[in-house]
Structure 1
């Protein structure tokens, strides 16, 4: 039986495709722009060959050739007939509802088109594209120079070779530990005779936040780190902000406080200025017995969206966020084991 293999584009620290490693897939190549993120992947022994860790812009021909050369290396050294699956999660600038700076360059979404081009060249058995909800209706400039919706570009470039299924799913209904609505596109090469809709995950009962993090010890002291888990700590915040959240019940926001002294505010030229509630999820205490909220870019700061713990007066800890993102404890962020990190003196932590 031939080895199960994959390529991951825009792989960041490798969290998104760690499940493929857990399922015994072999990583042929992983591409990421930032070196420090690739170093996390190295800590998890993602690639068999060092040349599989490819840092660089996928729009550059040099980067593309490095990826293609890894396919040839695996065909030669590992007797790989063909790549099993290519995964691409291009950055969502110009697509995310949280992104309001939508210039011409982001609108063109050239990184998406570059992904389609590599799929055409490599011809894996399957491909997976994952992105934000608005992904398919966003405009890109295709390889033919024409502006079109991304869904049309996918069909134009890959429709002859692949059967393609497009779905928008909330991953909370399919085993994920938090609410996250995403577009998931799966393509199966036509000669395989496999319907891509059969490859989607099966429905699972939603999990509550209590089920996900309820066993972790309480953290009440600013700067406190769990002695048993270096990642179970929370980012410090200005002490006066505790006054804003300490009386909140589940589902309440600091903006719901009736005491003006407890409303979010700051000082400008010696005068108090009350913060405008531009996002209803800010400073909101979460529910124990509902699905965990979507994890955003800055879930480590109090002023971000849906960050306040159900009981403690703090943001979620790093371990709690990792669990909400379904990141297993076997995932490593450094070359050190958890035991080694826990043994560090407090000053080094």
Structure 2
């Protein structure tokens, strides 16, 4: 299978941001952290960030030679090199600095057209001069959109909300230690390497044990997710498990099912609900209640009351994976009435 891999660098391949690690070597970490926070919170643009970053590093003595000398000291995640090499179609998609990422790409023999990063230049004396082409989220998204369509499967790996735009153009979207409903979450790189290996050696499916954390859901759905047909069955089973989990959590009567069960347990208003989401946030309560209530007519009823052909294995995987997230929402909720 033709697999394209699109990797952010900071926080995905490196333990800490590249510039932050260089700042530690230069002993200007505290000043850089303030800039990084402003940029992460979208209070300054990429250009404004560089307007503060370049003078800070230049004043601390950052040069081309310094970057090269300390390249090997940048702490990478375990298995970062193996992930880059997991497929011949790896792309680096980052707003990080060219003085590190270009060298990283060269060492892994990645063609220049597979690398997007912020371009920095040095003056004749080798001191950092300026950023001539900063990369923002929109540029990353356009880059991935253009390249991802060439592959049967495109896998995107990011670590922050700013990566959401480019991940949206990939078939499989992964956030390192993320907690968003529509994204897979991993803490280590090895599971991603394993999935890529399975896909490239002829497997057309993502293993269920990679997608699903809930042990009951995995036990009851793994074999039918890996069947050759009839993929309405895992959705039926998964929604039954979700209902049982809600019923047990709130102590609802057995005769309550479907949307009536959801409405019995969850209310959009925190003051009226029997089960409160763990965050105790009114927006989360409203959102998850709406999702759970809408899930019944959208998915549960169609497979419970009818034999539903035409559901692909990939679609079933995604739906069951989404139910896995909803199970965690139910498990983490608090009974208040």
TM > 0.5 fold call = no
Please give the range of the TM-score, normalised by the shorter of the 2 chains: under 0.3
Normalising by structure 2, we get a TM-score of: 0.28
Bigger proportion of residues as helix: 2
User: Higher relative CO (CA 8 A, sep ≥ 6), structure 1 or 2?
Assistant: 2
